[in-house]
A and B are shown apart, each in its own frame.
Chain A
Amino acid sequence: MRMTRFREKLENDEDSKGSSSGGGGGGGGGGGTAMRIIVPLQGVVQGRGGLILGSVIPCALFYFLQLYIRRNRSSSSSSSSPPSPSQPSGLPRSSSNLFSRLSTGPVYISSRASTIAKSDDNPYYVGLKKVTEDPYDALNNPDGVIQLGLAENKLSLNLVRDWMAENMKDSIIGAKGGGDLNIHGIATYQPFDGLMEFKVAVAGFMSQVMEGSVSFNPSLMILTSGATPALEILSFCLADPGNAFLVPSPYYPGFDRDLKWRTGVELIPVPCRSTDNFSLSVTALDRAFNQAKKRGLKVRGVLISNPSNPVGNMMSSETLYDLLDFAREKNIHIISDEIFAGSTHGDQEFVSIAKVLESDDFDRSRIHIIYGLSKDLSLPGSRVGVIYSFNENVLAAAKKLARFSSISAPTQHLLISMLSDTRFIREYVETNKKRIRRMYLAFVEGLKQLGIECMQSSGGFYCWANMSGLIRSYSEKGELELWDKLLNIAKINVTPGSSCHCIEPGWFRCCFTTLTENDIPVVMERIRKISETCKS
C-alpha cells in the first residue's frame, strides 16, 4: 500500500522511537514544564542544611521521575499532534495533568491491534514506502526509486480511459443515465453482496478472460470491495481461530495479512523448489499436512494462487486433479486465487479449477475461487473482488459477511456498462496480454544480459529472477543484504523471496508493468552497477 509522504514520515518517527504495543498515545503537551522544574528548586534554595537535604533528595527524585515519564510519554505520542501545520485548530495534544495520566495509565488496545500497529519491517512494505518517499519519474525525478515491487498494471490503462471518454457521460449514473438523472436507484440500500446485474457482468468477464474455457454462474458469486476482503471472508467461513491453511511457497506476502490478521488462522508454507520449476508437489503437501497434524494443528484447506504470485507459473490440469484428490482424501477445502487469470502472456493456456471440476464428479462443495478486477482490468481503485463458491452454506455466510465490505453502488453501475461491452473487453484482454508479453520479454532479456536468469513464467505482472549469483552468503541474510543494496544504492524496489517465504535464497520478484519500455535500460543499468560491486 502506498502511503502519503507526510503521514509515513510521522509513522517513521513513531517507529524509530519504538512505541510499545501498550502505548495508548496521548500524553500531555509541554504545559507547565517550567513550573515543574522551578518548584522543587525553590525548596532547595529556601531551605537550610538538613532541610536542603530533606528537600533535595525527594525533589531530585521527583524531577527525574518527571523526566523519565515525559520521555516515555513523548516516545509513545510523538505524532500526537496531527500533521496539519496549516490548520492551527488541528487537534492539540491534551495538556493533561501529569497525575491523572499516571493514575489511569494508557487505555488498552487489543492484542490483535497491537501486532498490526507495530511497524512493518517486512521488506515488502519497507520497499513500497521507500518508493512513495522518492518515486522515480523519467522526466521529473530520474534519480528516484523505481517501483518494481507493486503488482500493478499501467500498460493498458489508456484503453480503459478511452472507453470511459467515449461511452459514458463520466457520471456516476453511468451510460444508462442518458439525461435522466435518477440517483434514487443507486443511492438506496442495495444487496450487500452486489447487484445481480453486476454479478452477471462479472461472471461474463471472468469467462471472457479465461478465453471462454469455462462459464461462471452469477448465483454462486459474492462480490466484495476487493480481493483482499474476499479472501478474508472466505477464511472466516472455512476455518476457526487456530486452524491452518497450507500455502505453497513462495507466496504473495499479503496473504499473511489477509488470511491471518483478524481471523486467527495460521498459514503453513509448503515449499516448492526451483528444481521443480516451483510447481506444487502433492507429496510436499502431504508431508506438511502430516507435520501439522503432529503439532496438533487442524488443517482446513489449501490456498493456491494460479497463475502464481510471485513466480508467475500456471498449474497444469494434472496438478489440479492431484490437488483435488488430495483435498478429497483429507476432506479439506481448496481456495484458488485466480486473480491474474486474464493476465497471462505465454503460450501456455490457463486452466481454472472450475474447468477441471466440470470434467469429473468431484465434491464441489470444497472448492472456492477468489477473483477481482484489480489486476485483469487495471482498476484496483474501484475495489471489486469476487468469492465464487460451489458451497451453498459458504455462500450464505459470505453473503451476510459481505456487508462489512460492500462495493459502492455507483461503481457497480459504471462497471456494468464497461464489462457488458464484450467487444471492448475482448480487445482489451488481447491487447493487454500482448503488451505484458512484450514487456516481459524485454525485461527478462535485459536481466539475461546481466547473467540473471528468470524462472519460466507465463502469467502475472512480474518475473521471478534468480540473483543468487550476486549474493555473498547463500542465505536469507545474504539475500536481504542484496535487497538492501538494490533498494538504497541502485534505487530499485524489488521483492525479496524471503518476504514470500521462499526457502531458496536469492530469488526476487520484479514487476515490470509499471514501467515504460524506455525505463527498462535504466533499470538494467542500475542493476548492472550493483552486480559489478557484488562480483568484485
Chain B
Amino acid sequence: MAIAIDIEIEKPSVGLSRVAVSDTHGEDSPYFEGWKVYDENPYDEVRNPLGVIQMGLAENQVSFDLIEEYLEQHPEASATWGNGTSSFKENALFQDYHGLKTFRKAMASFMEQIRGERAKFDPDRIVLTAGATAANELLTFILANPGDALLVPTPYYPGFDRDLRWRTGVKIIPVHCNSSNDFQVTPQALEEAYNQALAMNIKVRGLLITNPSNPLGTLIQRSVLEEILEFVTRKNIHLVSDEIYSGSVFSSSEFTSIAEILESQKYRNAERVHIVYSLSKDLGLPGFRVGMIYSYNDQVVTTARRMSSFSLVSSQTQNFLASMLSDTKFTKNYIKINRQRLRKRYEMIIEGLRKAGIECLKGNGGLFCWMNLSPFLEKPTREGELGLWNSILHEVKLNISPGSSCYCSEPGWFRVCFANMSEQTLEVALKRIHDFMEKRKTDQRNHLSY
C-alpha cells in the first residue's frame, strides 16, 4: 500500500545583510543583560519596593528641577516653533545640516563655561548630531576605513563596541590600563597597543579617549593628555576626546579639556583632534537627542556636516535649547549647582560603600563610581566576577555593570551609577549592599568555624 508522504519544501527566506544578523552590536553582554532583568522587575519606591534598582544607567536626574524652574520663569523660551509667522515657517521647513546658528553659538558658549572659560569654541566648527552615539559613529566613518582600527583605553563604555564598530566595520584595539596607577593611560600601553595592531597588519587610524572617563569617573591629568597628544602626533593618527561628562565634574578646576592644551600650544597639530559632546549627561536631557562633533579639521567638519543628514536634530529642539543655553545666568548657575549635587551624591555613595567595607577608585566626575569588589571574589577571574555580579543582580537586586563588559583587565571592578535615582532610592540600594556584605561576613565566619 502506497503511503503518501508529505514533503514540506521550505521556501528560501529572503536574505539579510551581515550587519543585520551579526552580534557586533555587542548587546548580548552582561551590561545589557542586567537591564533586561531590571526591565522585568523595576524598583519603585511605592509600588515595587523589592524590585531591581537600576544602577547601570548613566543618566543624570539630580538637576531636573533647575530646568523646570527655568521653563516656568521663561515661558517664551519654550516657544519652540519660534515667535511670529516667518520664524514658524523657517523652523517647520528648516532641515539645514549646518544647524541653527543661534543654537551652535549657545552650545559653544555652554562648553566654554563648563571649562571655566579656559578654552574658546568656534560655533562654525560644531556639527550637530542626534546624540553622542551618532557623533562617535560618524567620526569613525570619517576617520577610518573598514578593517582599520581605533585604539581605546580600557576599561571603556560597552556601547563603543556598537557605536564604533557595527556599521563602520572598524575594529577596536584596547589600550590596557590597570589599577597600579589608577587605570591611567601610559605611553607604554599606547605603544604596546599600536604595535599589536601593526603585528596583525591592521592600520590604526586614531585614539579615542573619554575624559572624564566612563566607567572610571576619573579625569585625565594634564601631563597624560600632553603625552597622548605627542603620541598621536608622532604616529600621525587622530585623537577623539569624548568629553560628554565634562559638565559633571565635581570640581571645575581639576578638569583639563584637550581644547585647553591645544589652545596653549597655539593649535599646533590641532587638525587631528576632534571633541565629542552631548547634552544627555550634563544637562540630563538624553531624550532630546542632542550631540555634536567639534573638529579642528576643516575637511572633517565639512564631511561630518554632510553626513549628519542621517542624524539631524529637530529644529524645534534646537530652537528651544538655543534660548535656554544662551541665558548665561541660567547656565552658570546650573553648572555650579549640578556639580555640587553630583559631588554630594558621590560622597554619599562612597561613604555608604565604605561602611559596607567596599572601596572605590577615587573619582572626580561623572555619574558613577568604580567599585572594587576584587577582595570578595571567589576566584580572581572573569567567571568569579560574573558569579558575584549574578548574585548582586538576582539576590541583592541591584543592576550594576561588571568590569569585564567594559574590558577591564582586572576582575572584580564594577561601575555603579548614582545619579539616576532619588536620594531615598540610593539609601535603599546602599542598605541592600550593606546587608549583603554583612551576610557574606557572617557566612564566611560560619564557614570558617567548621
By a beta-carbon cutoff of 8 Å, the part of chain A in contact with chain B is: 1-4, 7, 11, 14, 19, 23-26, 77, 79-80, 82-84, 87, 89-97, 100, 104-113, 116-117, 152, 154, 157, 160-161, 164, 169-173, 181-184, 186-190, 225-226, 228-229, 232, 236-241, 243, 257-258, 261-262, 264, 300, 331-333, 363, 365-366, 374, 378-383, 391, 393-394, 397, 400-401, 403-411, 414
Residue numbers in A under 8 Å from B88 (CB-CB): 157, 161, 164
Residue pairs across A and B with Cβ atoms less than 8 A apart, 14 shown, are A1-B309, A14-B302, A161-B88, A182-B68, A188-B287, A225-B130, A228-B309, A262-B310, A365-B13, A383-B312, A391-B16, A394-B16, A397-B16, A410-B314
A77 CB contacts on chain B under 8 angstroms: 298
Among the interface residues B25, B80, B163, B296, which one has the most CB atoms of the partner chain A within 10 A? B80
Q: Specify the chain A residue showing the minimal Cβ separation from B279.
A: A187
Whether B286 pairs with A80 at a CB distance below 8 angstroms is no
**In whole angstroms, what is the CA distance A104 to B270 when docked?**
13
The verdict on B361 contacting chain A, using a C-beta distance below 8 Å, is no
Write the nearest CB–CB distance from A322 to chain B, whole angstroms.
18
Set of chain A residues within 8 Å of B238, measured between Cβ atoms: 107-108
**In the complex with contacts A104-B236, A164-B81, A366-B14 CB distance below 8 A:** yes
> At the interface with chain A, which of B57-65, B214-222, B349-357, B389-397?
B57-65
Q: Provide the bound-state CA to CA distance between A182 and B64, in Å.
A: 9
Which of A160, A240, A261, A366 contacts B307, CB < 8 Å?
A261
Give 5 nearest A-B pairs by CB, closest first.
A26-B271, A409-B287, A381-B315, A397-B20, A171-B78
Closest to B306 in A: A116
Nearest B residue to A120 via CB reads: B306
A458 to B229, CA, bound (A): 59
What CA separation (Å) do A94 and B222 show in the bound complex? 21
Which chain B residue shows the least CB distance to A195? B287
Report chain A residues within 8 Å CB of B143. Answer: 108-110, 113
A410 touching B122, Cβ below 8 Å: no
CA distance A261 to B131 in the complex (A): 21
With A300-B15, A404-B134, A405-B311 already in contact, the answer to whether A113 and B300 are too (CB < 8 A) is yes
Q: Is the CB of B101 within 8 A of A408?
A: no
Q: How far is the CA of A156 from the CA of B11 in the complex (A)?
A: 48
Query: Which residues of chain B are near A92, meaning CB under 8 Å?
Result: 266-267
Given contacts A96-B269, A393-B21, contact A23 B299 (CB under 8 A): yes
Query: Assuming A228-B309, A240-B18, is B302 touching A117 (CB within 8 A)?
Result: yes
A172 to B71 Cα, complex, angstroms: 10
Stretch in B92-100, B174-182, B245-253, B403-411 with 4+ CB within 8 Å of A: B92-100
Given A170-B78, A403-B131, A382:B315 Cβ within 8 A: yes
Which residue of A is nearest B69, CB measured? A181
Choose among B61, B81, B142, B314 the residue that contacts A188 (Cβ–Cβ < 8 A). B61
- B372 part of interface (Cβ distance < 8 Å): no
Q: Does B50 contact A (CB under 8 A)?
A: no
With A25-B298, A90-B120, A363-B14 in contact, is A410–B267 under 8 Å at CB? Answer: no
- Measured between C-beta atoms, what is the minimum distance from B175 to chain A in Å? 19
B95 and A332 contact, CB distance less than 8 A: no
| Chain A CB within 8 A of B72 CB | yes
Chain B hits for A24, CB < 8 A = 271-272, 297, 299
Are B298's CB and A410's CB within 8 A? no
Q: Are A226 and B20 in contact (CB under 8 A)?
A: no
Measured between beta carbons, the chain B residues less than 8 angstroms from A409 are: 287-289
Distance in angstroms from B23 CB to nearest chain A CB is 10
In the bound complex, residues from chain A placing their C-beta under 8 Å from that of B300 are 25, 109, 113
Task: Indicate with 1 or 0, residue by residue over B13-57, a CB within 8 angstroms of chain A CB atoms.
Answer: 111111111000101000000000000000000000000000001
Q: CA separation between A438 and B364, bound complex, in Å? A: 64
Given known contacts A26-B296, A414-B316, is B79 in contact with A170 (CB within 8 Å)?
yes
Q: List chain B residues, Cβ under 8 A from A400.
A: 25, 27, 162
Q: Which residue of A lies closest to B95 (CB)?
A: A380
A226 pairs with B95, CB closer than 8 A:
yes
B379: Cβ under 8 A from any A Cβ: no
Contact of A152 with B123 in the complex, beta carbons under 8 Å? no
Q: Is the CB of B314 within 8 A of A383?
A: yes
Chain A residues near B92 (CB-CB < 8 A): 157, 160-161, 378-382
Residues of chain B from 251 to 291 with CB closer than 8 A to chain A in the complex: 266-272, 284-290
Contacts of B97 in A (CB 8 A): 1
Report yes or no: B141 in contact with A405, Cβ–Cβ below 8 A.
no
Contact pattern, B 410-443, Cβ under 8 Å of A = 1, otherwise 0:
0000000000000000000000000000000000
Asked if A184 and B120 make an inter-chain contact with CB atoms under 8 angstroms apart, the answer reads no
**Distance of A230 from chain B, by nearest CB (Å):** 10
Judge whether B146 and A241 touch: CB under 8 Å.
Answer: yes
User: Do residues A4 and B302 form an inter-chain contact, with CB atoms below 8 A?
Assistant: no
Q: How large is the interface on B (under 10, 10 to 19, 20 to 34, 35 or more residues)?
A: 35 or more
Contact A404 B133 (CB under 8 A): yes
Q: Does B137 belong to the interface (CB within 8 Å)?
A: yes
CA distance A46 to B297 in the complex (A): 43
Q: Mark B149-183, 1 if CB is under 8 A from A, else 0.
A: 00000000000001100110100000000000000
Say if the beta carbon of B340 comes within 8 Å of chain A.
no
Q: Are A91 and B120 in contact (CB under 8 A)?
A: yes
Task: Please tell me if the beta carbons of B314 and A407 are within 8 angstroms of each other in the complex.
Answer: yes
- Bound together, the chains give a CA A83 to CA B122 distance in angstroms of 9
Contact A111 B314 (CB under 8 A): no
Q: Determine if A83 and B124 form an interchain contact, defined as CB atoms under 8 angstroms apart.
A: yes
Contact of A190 with B205 in the complex, beta carbons under 8 Å: no
Beta-carbon contact of A404 and B311 below 8 Å: yes
| A381 contacts B95, C-beta separation under 8 Å | yes
In whole Å, how far is A501's beta carbon from the nearest beta carbon of chain B? 20
Query: How far is A401 from B133 in the complex, measured between Cα atoms in Å?
Result: 11
Q: Is B67 an interface residue when CB atoms closer than 8 A count as contact?
A: yes
User: Do B133 and A93 touch (CB < 8 A)?
Assistant: no
- Kindly state whether residue B225 has any CB partner on chain A within 8 Å: no
Rounded to whole angstroms, the CA-CA distance of A489 and B92 in the bound complex is: 31
Known: A91-B120, A93-B267, A383-B312. A236 touches B133 (CB 8 A): no
Whether A226 and B312, one on each chain, are in contact in the complex, defined by CB atoms closer than 8 angstroms, is: yes
Residue B240 at the chain A interface, CB threshold 8 Å: no
Which of A91, A92, A184, A332 counts the most B-chain CB atoms under 10 A from its CB? A91
Contacts of A403 in B (CB 8 A): 131, 133
Question: Apart from A24-B297, A110-B142, A380-B94, what 8 extra A-B contacts exist at CB < 8 Å?
Answer: A25-B300, A91-B122, A105-B236, A173-B78, A229-B310, A300-B17, A382-B314, A405-B134
A235 and chain B: residue at smallest CB distance: B17
A331 vs B10: C-alpha distance when bound (angstroms): 13
Q: Are B297 and A26 in contact (CB under 8 A)?
A: yes
Nearest Cβ on chain A to B235's Cβ, whole angstroms: 9
In this complex, what residue of B is CB-closest to A378? B92
CA–CA, A240 to B288, complex, Å?
A: 32
Once the chains bind, are A374 and B95 in contact (CB under 8 Å)?
yes
Interface residues of B in 219-241 (CB under 8 A from A): 233-234, 236-238
Q: Give the residues from 161 to 210 in chain B that come closer than 8 angstroms, CB to CB, to chain A.
A: 162-163, 166-167, 169, 205
Q: Which of B131, B289, B307 meets A262, CB within 8 Å?
A: B307
Please measure, in the bound complex, the distance between the C-alpha atom of A405 and the C-alpha atom of B36, giving whole angstroms.
Answer: 23
Q: Tell me the nearest residue of chain A to B19, going by C-beta.
A: A236
A84 interface neighbour in B12, B79, B123, B284, Cβ under 8 Å: B123
Residues of B within 8 A of A404 (CB): 130-131, 133-134, 137, 163, 167, 310-311
Query: Which residue in chain B gives the minimum CB-CB distance to A404?
Result: B134
Nearest CB of chain A from residue B124's CB, rounded to whole Å: 4
Complex contacts, B272 vs chain A, CB 8 Å: 24, 107
A106 to B59, CA, bound (A): 39
Q: Is the CB of A393 within 8 A of B75?
A: no
- Complex alpha-carbon distance, A111 and B169, angstroms: 13
How far, in angstroms, from A7 to B127 measured CA to CA in the complex? Answer: 13
For B142, what are the chain A residues with a Cβ–Cβ distance below 8 Å? 109-110, 112-113
User: Which residue of B has the minimal Cβ distance to A228?
Assistant: B309
Most A Cβ at <10 Å: residue of B72, B91, B316:
B316
Which of A113, A160, A226 makes the CB contact (< 8 A) with B303? A113
Inside 8 A of A80's CB, which chain B residues have their CB?
298
Which one of B79, B270, B313 lies within 8 Å of A408 (CB-CB)?
B313
Assess whether B302 is in contact with A172, with CB atoms less than 8 Å apart.
Answer: no
